[in-house]
Amino acid sequence: MGRRVSFWTARAGRHAAWGALVLIAGVAVAAPWGRLEDDGIHDRNNPGLPMLQQPADALSPLPPAKGGNGVDWRVALESGAISPRPTLDGAGSVKTLDLDILMKRTGQMPWVRFSHAIHTPWLDCSNCHEQIFATKAGETPVSMAQILEGRFCGVCHRSVAFPVTECDRCHREAQTAAGTK
Partner 1 sequence: MAPRKPFAALPPGGKNDDPSSPPRACAGRQGGGHARIAAARRAIGVGVLACVLGLSSAGAEHGDVVRSRRATAGNMAPVVFPHWFHRIRFQCRVCHAELGFQMRVGATELGMGDLVAGRYCGRCHNGEIAWGLASCGLCHSGREGLPDGIASWAFGPYFIEAVPELPFRETGHREGGAAASSEPPAGTPSPTAVAAPASTPPSGPEAAARPENPVPVTPTPKP
Binding stretches for ligand HEC (CB under 6 A): 52-53, 73-74, 88, 95-97, 101, 103-107, 109, 112, 114, 116, 118-120, 122-123, 125, 127-129, 132-140, 142-145, 147, 150, 152-153, 155-162, 164-167, 169-171
Q: How far is CA 97 from the centre of its chain?
A: 23
Q: What sign does the dihedral 56-58-62-66 (CA atoms) show?
A: negative
CA nearest neighbour of 136 among 98, 178, 181, 101: 101
How far apart, in Å, are the Cα atoms of 98 and each of 75, 101, 116? 17, 10, 6
Output 24 or 160, the one with its CB closest to ligand HEC: 160
Residue of 12, 17, 75, 134 interacting with partner 1 (CB under 8 A)? 134
Helix (H), strand (E) at residue 115: strand 111-115
By CB under 8 A, tell whether 127 contacts partner 1. yes
167 Cβ partners below 8 Å, 6+ apart?
109
Output 38 or 100, the one with its CB closest to partner 1: 38
How far apart, in Å, are the Cα atoms of 66 and each of 47, 164, 169? 33, 11, 10
Output 83 or 176, the one with its CB closest to partner 1: 83
Q: Find which of ligand HEC, partner 1, none residue 25 binds, CB within 5 to 8 Å per kind.
A: partner 1
Residue of 111, 113, 140, 175 interacting with partner 1 (CB under 8 A)? 140
CB of 39 to ligand HEC, least distance (A): 12
Residues 44-103 that bind partner 1 (CB under 8 A): 45-49, 51-53, 55, 58-60, 64-71, 73, 82, 84-88, 94
